[in-house]
Amino acid sequence: MTILDIILLICFVPAIVTGITRGFVSQAVQIVAIILGAWAAFHFSSVICDWLSQYLTMDETVLKIVAFVLVVIVIILILNLLGNLLSRLLRALSLGWFNGILGVAFGILKVGLILGLLIMVFEGLNASIELVDDKLLADSRVYTTLRELTEKVFPYLKSFAAGISE
């Protein structure tokens, strides 16, 4: 186990606490929001990037990343509002305990997806500017597992991450 594995595993601790406190509905909605946000960002970030380039003078690589993140954040915020309404409904129906138990599993999955997305963006940057040695990344079991999970859930993002370094 490498230091990178330990750092990545520590990121899951808040997911367990948040899963219990926020519950299944909130976590499930957030997972859907991440997946839908990444899909929308992949398909529409170029439009946002073109729009942003009219107002901001930045490197094109930075604008691509900003546009991608902006689309993801907007989708996540909208769906989180809907999830909060549904969670309140479950509490009103006295199903809060069930909501909390399932929330842990979905909280861990959510953090895994978020870390995976960050890994995809990081790999695009690391390909153009070597920030971390490839051997360290290859030796990390958690990093490799998260990268593989993300490639399966978001297969289209591999081309986006490769486009960052171009």
Where in the chain are the domains?
3-8+23-164
Ranges 17-21, 66-70, 111-115: which has the least confidence:
17-21
Token output for 139: 């030796």
pLDDT tier, 111 (very low <50, low <70, confident <90, very high otherwise)? confident
Identity of the amino acid at 140: S
pLDDT tens by residue, 122-163: 887 777 777 888 888 888 899 899 888 888 887 766 666 555
Report if pTM > 0.75.
no
- CA-to-CA distance for 124 and 118, rounded, in angstroms? 10
Q: What is the pLDDT of residues 68-93, one digit of tens each?
A: 888 989 998 999 888 888 777 777 77
CB crowding 9-30: b at 16 or more within 10 Å, else e: eeeeeebeebbeebbbbbbbbb
